[in-house]
Amino acid sequence: MNPTRMILHVDDDPQITRLIAEHLHNAGYEVTSLNDPTQAMKELISSQHRVIVLDIDMPRINGLDLLQEIKAYDGGIQVIMLTGVVTLTTVLRSFRLGAEACFFKPLLTPEPFLEAVHDVFGKIDRWWATLEDLSHRRHQHTPTLA
Protein backbone atom coordinates (compact mmCIF):
# COMPACT_ATOMS: atom_id res chain seq x y z
CA MET A 1 0.00 0.00 0.00
CA ASN A 2 1.18 3.50 -0.80
CA PRO A 3 2.31 5.09 2.50
CA THR A 4 0.57 8.31 1.51
CA ARG A 5 -2.76 6.42 1.71
CA MET A 6 -2.30 5.42 5.35
CA ILE A 7 -4.64 6.72 8.02
CA LEU A 8 -4.19 6.80 11.78
CA HIS A 9 -7.50 6.58 13.65
CA VAL A 10 -7.50 7.46 17.35
CA ASP A 11 -10.65 6.72 19.35
CA ASP A 12 -10.99 5.17 22.80
CA ASP A 13 -13.99 3.08 21.64
CA PRO A 14 -12.84 -0.18 19.95
CA GLN A 15 -16.26 -0.61 18.33
CA ILE A 16 -15.89 2.76 16.56
CA THR A 17 -12.33 2.05 15.40
CA ARG A 18 -13.45 -1.32 13.98
CA LEU A 19 -16.39 0.23 12.13
CA ILE A 20 -14.39 3.15 10.71
CA ALA A 21 -11.50 0.84 9.75
CA GLU A 22 -13.96 -1.31 7.81
CA HIS A 23 -15.34 1.72 5.92
CA LEU A 24 -11.83 3.00 5.17
CA HIS A 25 -10.48 -0.42 4.11
CA ASN A 26 -13.44 -0.85 1.76
CA ALA A 27 -12.56 2.54 0.25
CA GLY A 28 -8.95 1.42 -0.35
CA TYR A 29 -7.12 2.96 2.61
CA GLU A 30 -4.78 1.33 5.09
CA VAL A 31 -5.75 2.09 8.69
CA THR A 32 -3.89 1.94 11.97
CA SER A 33 -6.36 2.09 14.86
CA LEU A 34 -5.40 3.22 18.35
CA ASN A 35 -7.69 3.03 21.35
CA ASP A 36 -5.14 4.65 23.67
CA PRO A 37 -4.78 8.34 22.78
CA THR A 38 -1.59 8.62 24.83
CA GLN A 39 0.13 6.48 22.16
CA ALA A 40 -0.93 8.70 19.23
CA MET A 41 2.12 10.97 19.06
CA LYS A 42 4.52 8.03 19.45
CA GLU A 43 2.78 6.24 16.55
CA LEU A 44 2.70 9.41 14.46
CA ILE A 45 6.41 10.13 14.94
CA SER A 46 7.42 6.56 14.08
CA SER A 47 5.17 6.22 11.03
CA GLN A 48 4.38 7.86 7.71
CA HIS A 49 0.77 8.80 8.48
CA ARG A 50 -0.30 12.06 6.82
CA VAL A 51 -4.00 11.77 7.72
CA ILE A 52 -5.46 11.28 11.18
CA VAL A 53 -9.06 10.66 12.21
CA LEU A 54 -9.39 11.84 15.78
CA ASP A 55 -12.03 11.57 18.51
CA ILE A 56 -12.42 14.43 20.98
CA ASP A 57 -13.77 13.03 24.25
CA MET A 58 -11.14 10.49 25.31
CA PRO A 59 -9.59 9.57 28.67
CA ARG A 60 -6.18 10.96 29.63
CA ILE A 61 -5.96 13.35 26.67
CA ASN A 62 -8.62 15.44 25.00
CA GLY A 63 -8.72 15.14 21.21
CA LEU A 64 -8.60 18.92 20.77
CA ASP A 65 -5.40 19.05 22.83
CA LEU A 66 -4.03 16.18 20.77
CA LEU A 67 -5.00 18.02 17.56
CA GLN A 68 -3.03 21.03 18.75
CA GLU A 69 -0.02 18.81 19.57
CA ILE A 70 -0.20 17.12 16.14
CA LYS A 71 -0.32 20.46 14.31
CA ALA A 72 2.60 21.77 16.38
CA TYR A 73 4.60 18.66 15.40
CA ASP A 74 3.73 18.90 11.68
CA GLY A 75 1.21 21.41 10.37
CA GLY A 76 0.92 19.48 7.10
CA ILE A 77 -0.70 16.48 8.73
CA GLN A 78 -4.39 16.48 7.86
CA VAL A 79 -6.80 15.83 10.73
CA ILE A 80 -10.46 14.92 10.51
CA MET A 81 -12.43 15.01 13.74
CA LEU A 82 -14.99 12.25 14.36
CA THR A 83 -16.71 12.89 17.66
CA GLY A 84 -19.77 12.31 19.77
CA VAL A 85 -19.44 15.82 21.22
CA VAL A 86 -22.09 17.58 19.14
CA THR A 87 -21.71 21.30 19.83
CA LEU A 88 -20.98 24.43 17.84
CA THR A 89 -18.04 25.12 20.16
CA THR A 90 -16.53 21.73 19.31
CA VAL A 91 -16.78 22.37 15.58
CA LEU A 92 -15.40 25.92 15.75
CA ARG A 93 -12.55 24.98 18.06
CA SER A 94 -11.64 22.00 15.83
CA PHE A 95 -11.42 24.24 12.77
CA ARG A 96 -9.50 26.96 14.60
CA LEU A 97 -6.93 24.37 15.69
CA GLY A 98 -6.48 23.14 12.12
CA ALA A 99 -8.93 20.28 11.56
CA GLU A 100 -9.96 19.83 7.95
CA ALA A 101 -13.43 18.48 8.77
CA CYS A 102 -15.60 17.50 11.70
CA PHE A 103 -18.13 14.66 11.72
CA PHE A 104 -20.42 13.44 14.46
CA LYS A 105 -20.87 9.90 15.73
CA PRO A 106 -22.71 7.88 14.85
CA LEU A 107 -22.23 8.46 11.13
CA LEU A 108 -25.66 8.23 9.53
CA THR A 109 -23.94 7.35 6.25
CA PRO A 110 -20.18 6.99 5.62
CA GLU A 111 -20.15 8.77 2.22
CA PRO A 112 -19.59 12.38 3.42
CA PHE A 113 -16.85 11.16 5.77
CA LEU A 114 -15.16 9.14 3.01
CA GLU A 115 -15.43 12.14 0.67
CA ALA A 116 -13.62 14.28 3.25
CA VAL A 117 -10.89 11.63 3.54
CA HIS A 118 -10.54 11.59 -0.25
CA ASP A 119 -10.36 15.42 -0.27
CA VAL A 120 -7.56 15.60 2.31
CA PHE A 121 -5.51 13.09 0.34
CA GLY A 122 -6.11 15.27 -2.73
CA LYS A 123 -4.80 18.25 -0.78
CA ILE A 124 -1.68 16.30 0.18
CA ASP A 125 -1.18 15.25 -3.46
CA ARG A 126 -1.45 18.89 -4.58
CA TRP A 127 1.14 19.94 -1.97
CA TRP A 128 3.57 17.26 -3.19
CA ALA A 129 2.99 18.23 -6.82
CA THR A 130 3.77 21.86 -5.99
CA LEU A 131 6.95 20.87 -4.15
CA GLU A 132 8.04 18.66 -7.06
CA ASP A 133 7.35 21.50 -9.50
CA LEU A 134 9.37 23.89 -7.34
CA SER A 135 12.27 21.44 -7.21
CA HIS A 136 12.13 20.95 -10.97
CA ARG A 137 12.06 24.71 -11.61
CA ARG A 138 15.00 25.32 -9.26
CA HIS A 139 17.08 22.73 -11.11
CA GLN A 140 16.15 24.26 -14.47
CA HIS A 141 17.15 27.76 -13.42
CA THR A 142 20.24 26.93 -11.43
CA PRO A 143 23.24 28.58 -13.08
CA THR A 144 26.05 26.20 -13.82
CA LEU A 145 29.64 27.01 -13.06
CA ALA A 146 31.99 26.73 -16.02
Q: How many CA atoms lie within 13 Å of 76's alpha carbon, on the beta-carbon side?
A: 13
Q: Average pLDDT in the 106-116 region?
A: 96
Alpha carbons 109 and 23: distance in angstroms, whole number: 10
Residue 144 has pLDDT above 70, yes or no: no
Residues with Cβ within 8 Å of residue 126, at least 6 apart in sequence: none
Burial level of 45, CB count in 10 A (0-12/13-18/19+)? exposed
**Mean pLDDT, residues 36-56 taken together:** 96
Q: Which domains does the chain have, with CATH numbers?
A: 3-140 (3.40.50.2300)
Check whether 117 has a pLDDT greater than 80. yes
Residue 11's alpha-carbon distances to 5, 18, 116, in angstroms, are 19, 10, 18
State what percent of residues in the chain have pLDDT above 70.
93
Residue-level pLDDT at 143: 61
Per residue in 97-109, pLDDT (tens digit) is 999 999 999 999 9
